[in-house]
Copies of this chain bind each other. A is one copy, B any other.
Amino acid sequence: MRYLVGIQYKGSAYCGWQRQKNGLSVQAVVIEAWRALTGETIVLHGSGRTDAGVHALCQCAHFDTQSALPVDKIPLAMNTKLPVDVRILWAREVAEDFHARFSVKAKTYRYRLYWGAHADAFAYDLAHHVVKRPNVELMKKAAEVLVGEHDFKAMQATGGHVKSTVRTIYSIDIQEEGNQISITVRGNGFLYNMVRILAGTLLYAGWEWLTAEDIAKAIEEKDRTALGKTLPAEGLYLVSVEY
């Protein structure tokens, strides 16, 4: 049987999704919980990596199993074995040629930030704090130039190794509520650190440090240095994966 599971995690305590030599990963705790539950050691394929401290409202991962555990019992059973900051939201059977990574049609990420003189004692690991209020209308205007198919090489951090840096962003939705701002980006795929660089670039636009034209030019010229900084992990959420 091949199962796909939806996994929610607060990434603060983890070295990221992917199993690492040093540090505890979300992938490792899910594998360990399944082993504690069934005695079986699975190979768990995620839809993609998330970095240390990055959160997931719903990461997806598949695995093959011989276990007789009914698929609808998996979430509650697994959640008794998992740490409180990792939850299985749902589980379903998928075809044997389904792959959590290669079958992805689209992904949605969100970057959360808030502004104000003081950082919030409750938000330090859930959103990024900035002192100065950005102009959200300017952020929205800058976001427009990024929507569509582009070569996003300028928005790839060093360490990314992919054949093509062309990606399609389907939408960028920016919401402001009180002193909180969220940037939700849906696309067919994202380069290494792309969402954090995109969020930093829109923030710079909101501070009038970059214009929409500057950003379009930097994308065109594949010039990472002409864009905003990579914002920190605590504000980033993998929202959903579409198949």
A interface residues (Cβ-Cβ under 8 A, vs B): 8-10, 55, 75-76, 79, 84-89, 117-122, 124, 126
Residue numbers in B under 8 Å from A10 (CB-CB): 121-122, 124
CB nearest to A124 among chain B residues: B84
Q: Which 10 A-B pairs have the closest CB atoms?
A: A84-B124, A8-B121, A87-B121, A10-B121, A85-B121, A10-B122, A9-B121, A87-B118, A86-B121, A79-B118
The docked-state distance in angstroms from the alpha carbon of A76 to that of B88 is: 40
CB nearest to A117 among chain B residues: B76
Q: Count the copies.
A: 2
Residue numbers in B under 8 Å from A84 (CB-CB): 119, 121, 124
6 sampled A-B residue pairs with Cβ under 8 A: A8-B122, A79-B118, A87-B119, A87-B121, A89-B118, A122-B126
Which of A79, A89, A122 has the largest number of chain B CB atoms within 10 A?
A122
Residue numbers in B under 8 Å from A119 (CB-CB): 79, 84, 87
Which of A55, A117, A118 has the largest number of chain B CB atoms within 10 A?
A118
CB nearest to A79 among chain B residues: B118
CB nearest to A234 among chain B residues: B84
**A159 → chain B, closest Cβ, in Å?**
27
**A205 → chain B, closest Cβ, in Å?**
27
The docked-state distance in angstroms from the alpha carbon of A85 to that of B76 is: 31
Q: Is the CB of B55 within 8 A of A122?
A: yes
